[in-house]
Chain A
Amino acid sequence: MTFRSFVVALAVTAGFAGAAQAQTKLTIGFSQIGSESGWRAAETKVGKIEAQKRGIDFRISDAQQKQENQIKAIRSFVAQGVDAIFVAPVVATGWDSVLKEAKEAKIPVVLLDRSIDTRDDSLYLTAVTSDTVHEGRVAGEWLLKQTGGTCNVVELQGTVGSSPAINRKKGFDEVVAKNPGLKIIRTQSGDFTRAKGKEVMESFIKAEGGGRNICAVYAHNDDMAIGAIQAVKEAGLKPGKDILVVSIDAVPDIFKAMADGEANATVELTPNMAGPAFDALMAYKKDGKVPPKWIQTESKLYLPDTAKAEYERRKDLY
């Protein structure tokens, strides 16, 4: 735990003590998946900050990637009688019975950043997620505009079968389908990691005439893009110029690369899922205003012009 997160925790605890006196204060339990990535850690951190802003008692339970831990956490939140429960579901199925328990206890449930498969969508109030198909589309449209519609693209996919990998490919493919000049000449999985991103890009460069045939690389996340940038450099080419780099997530390191001119664009997957969820929930509690079933976060495109400032803004969040 860093000193800062300790302070945040202290502040939350202090808020907790205050809550006992002022009954109006909301108590919300959050079953987080874990801290498997920088983005996930940022989501938790931003959640705490957003809660603090609104004076909410935000209780976080780390499930360490296990659904059974999440189910336990939800039951425990129900037993504690919290005002609402946030869940970032680790898998899509198997939630019905525990969410029914929450519903019977009249505790609204908000899904964060991922959705679930259920026939009964009254089991949750709303889902705050990004539109991962849209993210792919934004990346594709940027590339279309940047290259004037003619470009041989190599694609670094996420983990085979994962929903962000499927959807980010789908959105990008939509743009490709409408523009015959835009071609995906190679596509492979880089498992969302830097090391694999680099390894796959190395083979792409060799397979495509030392990289001469490649106009751009589209990576399903920034980490793979950062790995690919290194591979491009080691092949004696200039990333960002000889080969354009566009990716998704907007983690701090990609802004650094953009500031150095080695990456060209990133689409943000905001870690601020809790903020919109808090707002929807407070409106619901106060005025009974029922939010839509899906609150879509913005998929904002960032370019090198703001890279330096964005890096400074984000580097402590992740």
Chain B
Amino acid sequence: MPMPAGLTPSRSLPQIAALVVVLLANWMVFPDFFQVRLQDGRLFGSVIDVLNRGAPVALLALGMTLVIATRGVDLSVGAVMAIAGATAATLTASGHGLGVVVPAALGVGLVCGLWNGLLVAVLEIQPIVATLILMVAGRGIAQLITEGQIVTFVSPALAAIGSGSLLAVPMPVVICLGMLLLTALLVRGTALGLMIEATGLNRLASFYSGVDTRAVGILVYVWCGLCAAVAGLIVTADIRGADANNAGLWLELDAILAVVVGGTSLFGGRFSLVLSVVGALIIQAMNTGILLSGLKPEFNLIVKALVVLAVLLLQSPALGMPRLRLPVVRARRTRP
């Protein structure tokens, strides 16, 4: 597979560096951080926790990357997670098998994405407002489905999606990798990536070039809805219950943050799926590190904000980038 466009060394350096720094910081506060062992046929360790717990935000970030690349934003992903989770839990609790539950939950995500896509791409409502509708209403819909309770279920099959494993790798990590490959295939294996970037950078010029900007717009929101539904399914399966009030709460912000930390501009254009996932892992590594550090919980948000600030400063064109980029550019120039 060709290297995804946009994933050049100069662009990915700050993110990778930030991830390494955060991981090293974790190792310093908790020396056993990188220790991994097998537990009941499943990899077990703090670094595995980072991957496992980071999976939902990474999944959201995949869809969000495409949306943001078109110069949009999807605030409803957290609510869509709740809806998909509620659907899955309710159906499972009433005796349906995975063959019904998974397609239904994913279908709900697709429908939510289609709704957002229609509002943004067809009715041309500002993305932030258009998706705010589902962000607010979505949680209500999820509460209607669960009737305001935490719907629990007993289904080893569904639970395996959240806490099972494949070849010792936790299932959420496997699913997340699968979705990363699928999404990469969708956008880089076809010309969709180019269309998305062109639309995000200059919608009118793309439209005049014959790009179906409307279809591109709908498609990215649909895919974002699908990713959110997968994330919702994982979270629900993990706690063996659908918590309509809390599932995915504020995760839309983490997802946006992951995308931005991953270097995709909120003004659309160039994007990198891998770096968005790295962004999600930076955030989760931070969360896990804070939990391991034994810091008082009152400091959680402050520490998180400081680290994010540091990563963003590292990327700032006005500050860190020129120094980081210089040697790379020079290397390219000397190439014959």
Enumerate chain A interface residues (CB-CB to B < 8 A). Answer: 1-2, 35-38, 40-41, 157, 160-161, 186-189, 191-196, 198-200, 202-204, 206-207, 223, 226-227, 230, 234-236, 253, 318
Give the complex CA separation of A63 and B158 in angstroms.
Answer: 35
Is B30's CB under 8 angstroms from A207's CB? yes
Could you tell me the distance in whole angstroms from the C-beta of A109 to the nearest C-beta in chain B? 26
Partner of A230 from the list B45, B240, B245 (CB cut-off 8 Å) is B240
Q: In the complex, A200→B290 CA distance in Å? A: 10
Known A157-B297, A206-B32, A235-B44; contact A195-B291, beta-carbon cutoff 8 A: no
Which of chain B's residues 230-263 have a Cβ closer than 8 Å to chain A? Answer: 235, 238-241, 243, 245-247, 249
Given A230-B163, A234-B163, A235-B39, A203–B292 Cβ distance below 8 Å? yes
Q: Which residues of B sit under 8 angstroms from A227, Cβ to Cβ?
A: 239
Which among B53, B143, B238, B239 has the highest number of chain A CB atoms within 10 Å? B239
B147 interface residue per 8 A CB criterion: yes
B288 within 8 A of A: yes
> Of A187, A194, A223, A253, which is in contact with the most chain B CB atoms at under 10 Å from its CB?
A194
Residue in B44, B148, B241, B294 whose beta carbon sits within 8 Å of that of A194 in the complex:
B241
Q: Could you tell me if A318 and B149 are in contact, using CB atoms closer than 8 angstroms?
A: yes
**Inter-subunit contact B241/A188 (CB<8 Å):** no
How many residues in B have their beta carbons less than 8 Å from beta carbons of A?
36
> When chains A and B are docked, how far (Å) is the Cα of A318 from the Cα of B241?
14
Are A38 and B149 in contact (CB-based, < 8 A)? yes
A218 to chain B, nearest CB (A): 15
Instruction: Find chain A residues with CB under 8 A from B247 CB.
Output: 195
Q: Is B155 an interface residue (CB 8 A)?
A: no
Apart from A38-B148, A157-B297, A195-B235, what 14 extra A-B contacts exist at CB < 8 Å?
A: A1-B147, A35-B143, A35-B148, A38-B150, A41-B149, A188-B291, A194-B243, A203-B292, A206-B45, A207-B30, A207-B294, A223-B243, A230-B163, A253-B150
Instruction: Specify which chain A residues have a CB less than 8 angstroms from the CB of B296 in the assembled complex.
Output: 187
Complex-state Cα separation, A292 to B287, whole angstroms: 46
Contact partner of B294 (CB less than 8 A), chosen from A186, A195, A199, A318, is A186
A41: B residues at CB distance < 8 A: 147-149
Can you identify 7 A-B contacts, CB atoms within 8 angstroms?
A38-B148, A38-B150, A160-B300, A189-B297, A195-B246, A202-B49, A234-B40
Determine the residue in chain B with the shortest Cβ distance to A5. B147
**A36 closest partner in B (C-beta):** B245
Least Cβ–Cβ distance between A137 and chain B, in angstroms: 21
